[in-house]
Amino acid sequence: MNIESKNVVIENTESGLRIFHVITANSKCSFSNYGGHILSFASDGDELLWVSAESNFEFGKAIRGGIPVCWPYFGAAPIDGAPAHGFARLLEWDVCSIIDLPDGRVEVKMSLDSSKLPEFCNKLALSMTIVIGKTLQVSLTTCNQGSSDFTLSQALHTYFNVSYIGNVAVLGLEDTDYFDSLVGKICRQSGAIGIAEEVDRVYLDTDATCTLSDKGKPYQVQISKSGSRSTVVWNPWIAKSIRMADFGDEEYWNMICIETTNAKSDSRILKSGETHTMSLEISKK
């Protein structure tokens, strides 16, 4: 671990997790090398991300909130007994470096030891770069070091903090087709996205920048991306919130997921030696 930054403090939790706290002139960000998981990003004092008060912070369990890394598959496991949403969020990553950039931002580089992965995906090399400043930039890079093609799906499963879900509109996906996971069919978005019931949608064939508008906040959040042509919007609403042990029964009021993904038809086939990078940038406007 090469930490040259003067702007980072490492916290060791009672459960053994390490949390890294980074402070810049414009922002505060916390992340853990467990899961390569970003837990918090505050821009000019405003927290943009959301973490459940019921979340697990212990090895072997996923953290509910922030930016979980779903990799090397998104959704149901392709093999029996494997966890949903992949292995990356359940393993310790190596912190390669944390450095101060000349412009005052902080750059973090992490990687996942492929020897920790099961045989069907242990020829994949995964790395992450986080750049923390007035905006938050996150990039996931996967390289297929095996001799066979690999079908990659993934997500930066970002949970955003909102004042009240009824105040929220998601802009940028108007007139876009989406797969509605609740009914199992393709639909088309009309106008901005509002949430008044359970929503679990994969917006298809889109690299659009999304804007999260919240009437209860004096700013908007912009989510731009590259290497992704699908976006997931999710809120569990009432019944599913109650079913999830690591999610408070009433917490759906104050969160929404807008996820940068390679999902459904946007899954990527990596040939031997090929590399794919998926990135997002979160900014306050």
Enumerate the active-site residues: 157, 259
Instruction: Give pLDDT tens digits for 231-264.
Output: 999 999 999 999 999 999 999 999 999 999 999 9
CB 170 within 8 A of CB 206: no
How far apart (Å, rounded) are the C-alpha atoms in residues 167 and 116?
Answer: 43
CB 261 within 8 A of CB 74: yes
Distance of CA 259 to the CA centre of its chain: 6
CB 207 within 8 A of CB 229: yes
Position 254 scores a pLDDT of: 98
Position 40 scores a pLDDT of: 98
Which candidate, 218, 164, 161, 232, places its Cα nearest to that of 196? Answer: 164
Q: Is the pLDDT of residue 202 over 90?
A: yes
Neighbours of 110 (CB within 10 A): 22
Which sequence spans correspond to the domains of the chain? 2-284
> Which whole number is the average pLDDT over 140-157?
98
Instruction: Give pLDDT tens digits for 81-107.
Output: 899 999 999 999 999 999 999 999 999
> Which whole number is the average pLDDT over 169-174?
98
> Which whole number is the average pLDDT over 273-279?
98
Q: Is the pLDDT of residue 17 over 90?
A: yes
How far apart (Å, rounded) are the C-alpha atoms in residues 86 and 121?
Answer: 10
Q: Is the pLDDT of residue 210 over 90?
A: yes
8-state DSSP, 2: E
> Which whole number is the average pLDDT over 127-144?
98
| pTM beyond 0.85 | yes
CATH of domain 2-284: 2.70.98.10
Which candidate, 41, 43, 15, places its Cα nearest to that of 29? Answer: 41
CB 140 within 8 A of CB 128: yes
Position 2 scores a pLDDT of: 85
User: Is the preceding peptide bond at 218 cis, omega within 30 degrees of 0?
Assistant: no
CA torsion sign for 154, 157, 220, 7 is negative
* pLDDT band with cut points at 50, 70 and 90 for residue 4: confident
* pLDDT band with cut points at 50, 70 and 90 for residue 21: very high
